[in-house]
Chains A and B, each alone.
Chain A
Amino acid sequence: MIADARALDGPLEIGGVSFQSRLIVGTGKYETNEVMVDAIRASGAEMVTVAVRRVDLDRSSEAGILHHLDPDEFFLLANTAGCYSAEDAIRYARLARAAGFNEFVKLEVIGDERTLLPDVFGTIEAAKVLADEGFKVMAYTNDDLITALRLEDAGCVAVMPLASPIGSGLGVVNPYFIREIKSRLEVPIIVDAGVGTASHACVTMEQGVDGVLMNTALAAADDPVRMSHAMKHAIIAGRLAYLAGRMPSREIGVPSSPTRGMLD
């Protein structure tokens, strides 16, 4: 069934790399590493995000995610999560690249602790530096068109507006702005953050964006593996509905059965 659905859609291409799945998933906040790996496999995602942190020298070195996640099975997208300045984000990105997997980075420069909304000025500044250094920057940003255009100009290979704040599960709060960003940029648009459940993922994909990135919606579900299956289908459903072109909506009823041929 999935094979048929994929035949109706092209691949997602980001920075010269081709992906079959339009779902990108995070690896944070799972109760166990086993559940994380099972959930990611169920989601069908090929690209997975990871964070850069100090090795905890007082604990087992098994805490590193690469002890659980095979880098030959998944495409690792390192993030700069937790960085509040361009300088810090650039430092984290360079450390991530030195790990030797790829040139991709999910750039996050956070501007506010309560909402985790991005510092768009810092994000643009860091994006320019990193793109000049040969990074393939996928930039987390808000749903602002002008920022998105600046990030594309800065050389980002994907621009990733939020649906709603990170970890909020509120779904896409401004579908109009998401559509406008998609229609005005050439690079892939990945909606990153805020999706809470499968209907949100579906509605997001129906806006015509290229993909969705999520973490908490899967990790914080009561059953992450089951939710990952649901998200896989929701992403495909939303994408195909977008490609299929929906019927016009009307505020009156229109019968589906013939009005002629009724009995006296």
Chain B
Amino acid sequence: MTQDTIQVRLNGKDRAIDGGHTVATLLESLDLHPGMVVVELNRDILDRDDYAAHTVSDGDTLELVHFVGGG
């Protein structure tokens, strides 16, 4: 069944994504390895083991961060 699209704010940009995603499937759709990123959902940092348990809802704010070069 096709899900309606929902609006989320993802890394500072408004995006329309398919509804029904969990954080785990969203990362997969973005080609991101769950072990390589940390996810903040509405300012709460998620435990990596819980990515599949969190559904992404309309209006959510997500930050996907990782380590980059720095001093």
Contacts and interface: CB of A to CB of B under 8 A. Distances in A.
Interface in A19-45: 26-30, 36
Contact of A55 (B46, B64, B69, B71): B64
Contacts of A99: 38, 66-67
Interface in A94-118: 94-96, 98-100
A26 B45 contact: no
Contacts, number: 101
A64 B70 contact: no
Interface stretch (A74-82, A129-137, A229-237): A74-82
A164 interface: no
Interface in A134-179: 166
A5 B49 CA distance: 45
B18 interface: no
The winner among A26, A29, A66, A98 for most chain B CB atoms within 10 A is A98
A60 to B, nearest CB: 9
Nearest to B15: A57
Nearest to B70: A51
B4 interface: no
Contact of B71 (A28, A53, A67, A95): A28
A174 B13 CA distance: 45
B1 interface: no
Nearest to A99: B38
Contacts of B47: 98
